[in-house]
Structure 1
């Protein structure tokens, strides 16, 4: 048996840290800029996520599984809501974002949602944000999360849909905005080549219904012009810069010029619409 964060784990099910299961995964927190991206995602999307979870009825004693946690903002909030009688399990293929040992009711495990069996326990809530569109076997991952729910448990999946609104600057009124949109097109091309499903978000309601969930609903959050959006644009470009240049999708000058424009605070930068879909296990 192996001890991680004070918890004994079966090495056959949780064999410890490993490399990404697929080179297309974008959630490796060891990549340059990953921490900045995680912080920007939290600033942009935590209020939306928390609002949905609140409406799903979270309370003391709930058992929650956060899939592909990638950071601490969501799991810390969940731990406060479930209290000492509840449980929050955070899993990820790379848990290097964890800076200190987890304390009850929070537990952190290494887990690959695309390959490993789901943890046992019968969860009241299973949540994943910005995870499935980058997972090679999305169908298996979704089925695994549903299997982990107790009868009546809630599933909340949140994914961006860059194909729904592909522009960095919807108000393309000048050269800086045109350059931003060209770079965003290059980023979308790169992500597509890496296997990201840029239209996955819009299919979530149908996929949840097809999987047998009840009371399925969804909505969309579309940030436009925010400090966090500008921070995310900068961090994402820093993270993808080597690959954009290597693929011939942008030059170093293109990227540097755009980042300088972002730093002025005068670009109304849009993020991809975040589609949140939820349902209840029969």
Structure 2
């Protein structure tokens, strides 16, 4: 099968809302901790790239206050627009193709965006250009190749089926140009685009009700593509969804790697 560059997990699908809620439950606390680390404060100008749901822009808007600015962009802003917090601007924007929005910004943040973007290098350079000197870039992306099993404890047929369907899902992602080992590259890439004080860490939920919700929504979104590619049968998908609903599976996520760095000041050069 040839490469398909369409986004596998389309925001327009009804399951997107459930996915956004689950991702928020799983990763918002970690994201907000990183915002604290780089010092987001009153009056900051922030660009949230690929915003998807409203929770991250909402947190930023509350933190920066009326003197600050929060711009939330995405290719499809429907979910962001429906629940936008006061003080958040929403703009349809393709980070890899469009010029960066008018800044400069004290913070540019993207979570689970670049791993899916075909021209990741162009997107990263665009975000760096939007930073003020001294401004911070925070990129958070999954690394499915670093831990490929959705059931790390594969002790029975239910877990084996879950892992087999996950392998099929990863194959679909790769066919659409996703880089499944992108997360681990972030510290190097941030240094290569000239950022200073680069650090990184990883967060890896391995059992949570939100993991179950995320898996069910994801499988519903891609089931037709799994069956069309002969990666799973309808019976296997129904069986797996029933296993997920039973709550007996210890479902994990791919490790979320967060890396941050700042654009140097002239004094640093």
Band of TM-score, shorter chain: over 0.9
Secondary structure in structure 2 of the residue aligned to 1:97: helix
Distance 1:103 1:85 in 2: 15
**TM-score normalised by the chain length of structure 1:** 0.90
- 1:19: which partner in 2? none
Provide structure 1 residue ranges, at least 5 long, that are not aligned to the other structure.
1-21
**Aligned match of 1:40:** 22
TM-score, normalised on structure 2? 0.94
State the partner residue of 1:232. 214
Please tell me whether the aligned partners of residues 45 and 64 of structure 2 are also in contact (alpha carbons under 8 angstroms): yes
Does residue 201 (structure 1) correspond to residue 183 (structure 2)? The answer is: yes
1:144 and 2:122 matched: no
1:67 aligned to 49, 62, 87, which one?
Answer: 49
Contact 1:84–1:104, Cα closer than 8 Å, also in 2:
no
**Which has the higher mean CA deviation after the structures are superposed, 27-36 or 50-59?**
27-36
Residues 1-282 of structure 1 aligned to structure 2 (within 5 Å): 23-26=5-8, 28-100=10-82, 105-282=87-264
Number of residue pairs matched by the alignment: 261
Relative distance call for 1:104 and 1:43 in structure 2 (3 A) is closer
Shift in CA distance, 89/99, structure 1 to aligned 2, threshold 3 Å:
closer
Where does the alignment leave 5 or more consecutive residues of structure 2 unmatched?
265-269
Q: Give yes or no for contact 2:187–2:198 (8 Å, CA) kept in 1.
A: yes
Q: Which runs of structure 1 show a deviation greater than 2 angstroms over 4 or more consecutive aligned residues? A: 22-28, 98-105
* SS at 2:201 equivalent: strand
Pairwise CA distance, 1:99: 4.5
Deviations 1:219-254 (A, max 9, x none): 000000100011100010001111011011011111
